[in-house]
């Protein structure tokens, strides 16, 4: 494919991409090669929690890139200590292993759970996961995911990930046997269509895990770092998980992820886990700057307020057009439509003039919204108005 001055054929084809090249971004706005601007309600898939190119990250990169890039994870470095201290201080976990992507953090969680099973549970290794869950694109995390079709594309799968139904405790109980070591879930299924696990379900899983000597693993790659209005989504369910993974927002757009565990779970022996870039000071310095912005007084309260503002706007839109409604948590929300207009709306939104709008449709009848956490109510209102205009045009 060619368009304009660009020949994109040197890039491996992995997905359908629109005919545009993004060249810069600022806050909630992106600009393409032709100078057209887009209001961004995707933000790198819930990644850029402070928007595009926030000053906090620019300054952290400038400062740290002049000090130290990577001494190797075989040595301590200051930013990784600082970020780990912040994360453990803000959560129920005691230790952090840094990674470079959400999938890699989840691989680490799976390895730690299996190791714990070897040490404490006669080699139990099975991890109960859920239909429609998403845990990443490595072989093990694809096997852990409940995405339709994923069990066969790169067969054979990694063994040991039986799938239960979200919010259905008996479906979990039915899968547990002597070889089960853990239950792993997203507090809100993101890619699956913004489907929250209920508080009762999370609490019942904690109880079940305690009774059956299982680990409770929360994949907060999408829900963590303020996305749902608290620093971590598990806090809202009032449970203490054993292991948590973070990604996406933790680096604010830079490749950073983490796996956290309670002290008694940390059974890795030297050499069991590692990685060339893991915990490098450049990325963890960015992570510390992002964390401080999210932890600043009033920030998360603002996320909750803007999440409610977005929720009200989506509900009004749903009422106006006779759609079922909306759901979600904080600034991870979805509009549930009465028909499969999602992909067409996404295309029309991007094509709008003078400025476009970036939206995501994880399912045909669903639009997902994952703006920057510092998006303004004015930007939310502008998005809702554009969306209403598109729907009006399609239903005339």
Ligand X SMILES: *Cc1c(COP(=O)(O)O)cnc(C)c1O
Q: Is 78 helix (H, G, I), strand (E, B) or coil?
A: helix
Q: In sequence order, what are the beta bridge partners of 252? A: 254
CB of 242 to ligand X, least distance (A): 17
Decide: is 127 part of the binding site for ligand X (CB under 6 A): no
Decide: is 96 part of the binding site for ligand X (CB under 6 A): no
Residue 130 is assigned to a ligand binding site: no
Residue 221 is assigned to a ligand binding site: yes
Q: In sequence order, what are the beta bridge partners of 99? A: 257
Residue 91 or 386: which CB sits closer to ligand X? 91
Among 134, 161, 234, 291, binds ligand X (CB under 6 A): 134
Contact segment (CB under 6 A) with ligand X among 10-18, 101-109, 166-174, 345-353 equals 101-109
Contact segment (CB under 6 A) with ligand X among 100-108, 121-129, 353-361, 372-380 equals 100-108
CB of 42 to ligand X, least distance (A): 12
* Cβ-closest position to ligand X: 102
Residue 193, phi then psi, degrees to nearest 5: 120, 30
The mark string for 216-245 relative to ligand X (x by CB under 6 A, - otherwise) is ---x-xx-----------------------
Residue environment code for 211-245, b if the CB has 16+ CB neighbours within 10 A, otherwise e = eeebbbbbbbbbbbbbbbbbbbbbbbbebebbbbb
Q: What does the DSSP assignment read for 253-317? A: TBS-EEEEE-GGG--PPTTSS--TTTT-HHHHHHHHHHHHHHHSTTHHHHHHHHHHHHHHHHHHH
Contact segment (CB under 6 A) with ligand X among 13-21, 215-223, 227-235, 338-346 equals 215-223
Task: Name the burial class of residue 330, with classes exposed (0-12), middle (13-18) and buried (19+) by CB atoms within 10 angstroms of its CB.
Answer: buried
CB of 137 to ligand X, least distance (A): 6
Distance CA 184, CA 143 (A): 13
The number of residues that bind ligand X (CB under 6 A) is 15
Binding residues (CB under 6 A) for ligand X: these are: 101-103, 106, 134-136, 186, 190-191, 219, 221-222, 247-248
């Amino acid at each position: 494919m060619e368009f304009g001055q660009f020949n994109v054929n040197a890039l491996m084809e992995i997905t359908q991409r629109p005919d545009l090249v993004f060249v810069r971004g600022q806050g909630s706005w992106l600009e393409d090669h032709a100078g057209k601007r887009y209001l961004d309600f995707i933000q790198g898939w819930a990644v850029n929690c402070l928007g595009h190119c926030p000053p906090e990250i620019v300054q952290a990169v400038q400062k740290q890139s002049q000090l130290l890039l990577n001494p190797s994870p075989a040595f301590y470095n200051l930013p990784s200590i600082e970020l780990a201290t912040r994360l453990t201080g803000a959560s129920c976990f005691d230790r952090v292993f840094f990674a470079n992507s959400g999938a890699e953090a989840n691989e680490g969680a799976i390895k730690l759970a299996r190791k714990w099973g070897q040490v404490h549970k006669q080699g139990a290794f099975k991890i109960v996961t859920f239909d429609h869950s998403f845990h990443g694109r490595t072989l093990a995390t694809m096997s852990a995911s409940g995405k339709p079709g994923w069990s066969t594309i790169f067969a054979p799968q990694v063994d040991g990930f039986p799938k239960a139904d979200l919010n259905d405790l008996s479906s979990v109980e039915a899968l547990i046997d002597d070889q089960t070591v853990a239950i792993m879930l997203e507090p809100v299924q993101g890619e699956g269509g913004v489907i929250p696990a209920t508080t009762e379900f999370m609490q019942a899983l904690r109880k079940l895990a305690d009774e059956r000597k299982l680990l409770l693993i929360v994949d907060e790659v999408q829900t963590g770092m303020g996305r749902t209005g608290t620093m971590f989504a598990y806090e809202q369910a009032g449970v203490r998980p054993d292991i948590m993974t973070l990604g996406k927002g933790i680096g604010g757009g830079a490749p950073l992820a983490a796996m956290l565990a309670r002290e008694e779970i940390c059974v890795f022996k030297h050499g069991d886990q590692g990685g060339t870039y893991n915990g490098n000071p450049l990325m963890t310095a960015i992570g510390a700057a992002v964390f401080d912005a999210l932890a600043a007084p009033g920030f998360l309260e603002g996320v909750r307020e803007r999440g409610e503002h977005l929720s009200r706007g989506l509900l009004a839109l749903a009422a106006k057009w006779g759609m079922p409604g909306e759901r979600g948590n904080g600034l991870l929300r979805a509009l549930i439509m009465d028909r499969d207009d999602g992909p067409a709306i996404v295309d029309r939104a991007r094509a709008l003039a003078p400025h476009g709008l970036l939206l995501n449709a994880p399912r045909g009848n669903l639009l997902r919204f994952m703006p920057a956490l510092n998006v303004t109510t004015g930007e939310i209102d502008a998005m809702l108005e554009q969306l209403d205009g598109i729907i009006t045009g399609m239903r005339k």
